[in-house]
Amino acid sequence: MEPIPYNKPYATGKEIQYISDAVSKGMLKGGGPFSRKCEDKIQLLTRSPKAVLTHSCTASLEMAALLLKIQAEDEVILPSFTFLASANPFVLRGAIPVFVDIRADTLNIDETLIETAITPRTRAIVVVHYAGVSCEMTKILEIANRHGLMVVEDAAHGIMASYRGRPLGTMGHLGTYSFHESKNLISGEGGCLLVNEEKFIQRAEVIADRGTDRAQFLLGQTRNYGWVEMGSAFQATELAAAYLWAQLEEAESITERRLALWNYYQDKLAELEANGYIQRPDVPLGCSHNAHLYYLLIKGAGQKERLLLLAKEESIGIVEHYRPLHSSVGGKLYGHVRAPLTVTSMVADQLVRLPIWIGLDKVGQDRVIHVFKKALTIL
C-alpha cells in the first residue's frame, strides 16, 4: 500500500503561471505587484488596517518585537506548548519569556493563569491559537487592558479562523500568520504581520524595509531615503508572493476541503473517545476553526508508543508535536517558570497529529483510523 505522509503541500494549479509572470516581468524582489495583491487580499479577509507580507512568521514576530520596542529584561508571557519561534524574536531583543500553562480542552494558554504571571517588568502577552482554534481573547484582552500590556497573536495556525466573528490575528495589537508549506495556505516559506493599530503602520513599513523610509520615497514624499531606525530585510520575495496569490485566490475552498477531512476524523473517532482511549479536539462555542491540525491525546500508559510503532510499520505519518519550551535547553537558558506546567507536560506526552491534507481521501483516512483502533483496542 502507498505510504500516507503526515503532510503533502497543496497546489491550486496556478502557482507556476504566476511565478512565470513575475519572472517574465523581472519582478523578483519583495514589494512588487503580487506582494501588493496578497496584502490587499489578506486585509480584505481579515479587515485589518495593514498587512505586511514577510519571508516567515518568525520574521513577522521579530517585527512585532521591534515595533513594541522590547528591551533587555522585559518579560513576555506566552505558553510553553508552542514552537520556539513564538519566543525567539523576543529573546533576541533581550526579553525573558515567562511560560504559562495551557488549558486541557483547547491546548491554548490558560487565561485564568496569566494575571498571576504578570510583574512590573511584563510588557506583552503572546497568545498562540493552537490548531487554528482561538484562545479566550475576551478575557485576555481584558487582562491586558487592565495592566497596560500589549497583545501579540501568534496565529501561525490561524488564517481563515475566527473568534466571535473576528478573524484570528486581528484582536491583539499585532498578529502574525505563517505560509510555511505545512500550513493551510502556503508559499513554501512565508508569513504576514497584521498591524491592527494605526500608530504602528508607518513604523512597520520602515522596519520591514531594512529600517529605511523607502516607502515614503517611492510615494514622492521625500527626495531620497535613508536609515530611520532598526529594521531588517523582512519582506517576502515576489516569487513567494506569486505562489501565495494562487493560494489566497482559493482560500475559502481550501478551508472547506480541510474542514471536511477534519469532520470525518472527528465523527469516526468518537467511539474511541467514548470508550476512554483518546481525547478528541474541542472547539468552544464562538470559535470557528480552519482544520489546520487534527490531533488526539492518547490515554493509557504505553499506548502512544505502541501507536507510533504500528503507524511506522504501516507507513502512515502519525507524528508527535512540540517539546515544551520550558523543558528544552533554550527554554531553561532564557525563560522563567513561576508556576507548575502540569497540563503542558501531560499534553506533550499524550499528543499525536494525524495526516490532514487536500488529496487525502476517505480510504486513506480509514487506514489512519484503523491504525488507532488496532493499536488501542487490539483489533
**Amino acid at the residue 210:** R
Q: Given this model, what pLDDT does residue 297 score?
A: 98
Tens-binned pLDDT, residue by residue, of the chain (379 aa) = 899 999 999 999 999 999 999 999 998 998 999 999 999 999 999 999 999 999 999 999 999 999 999 999 999 999 999 999 999 999 999 999 999 999 999 999 999 999 999 999 999 999 999 999 999 999 999 999 999 999 999 999 999 999 999 999 999 999 999 999 999 999 999 999 999 999 999 999 999 999 998 777 676 677 778 899 999 999 999 999 999 999 999 999 999 999 999 999 999 999 999 999 999 999 999 999 999 999 999 998 899 999 999 999 999 999 999 999 999 999 999 999 999 999 999 999 999 999 999 999 999 999 999 999 999 986 5
Q: Which of 256, 351, 309, 247 is nearest to 12 (CA)?
A: 247
Q: Where are the beta strands (DSSP E) in 141-294?
A: 150-154, 162-163, 166-167, 174-178, 191-195, 278-279, 287-288
Instruction: Give pLDDT, residue 146.
Output: 98
Tell me, what's the pLDDT at 213?
85
Length of the chain in terms of residues written:
379
pTM of the model: 0.96
Instruction: Give the pLDDT of residue 138.
Output: 98
User: How many CA atoms are closer than 13 Å to the CA of 97, on its beta-carbon side?
Assistant: 31
Count of alpha carbons within 13 Å of 175, Cβ hemisphere only?
A: 28
| Domain edges within the chain | 15-249, 251-377
Crossing angle for the helix pair 303-313 and 362-377, to the nearest 10 degrees = 140
pLDDT attached to residue 378 = 64
Contact 110, 101 (CB under 8 A): yes
- For 309, the enclosing helix (H) or strand (E) is helix 303-313
CATH topology of domain 15-249: Aspartate Aminotransferase; domain 2 (3.40.640)
Q: What is the pLDDT of residue 301?
A: 85
Give 251-377's CATH code, choosing from 3.40.50.2000, 3.40.47.10, 3.90.1150.10, 3.90.550.10.
3.90.1150.10
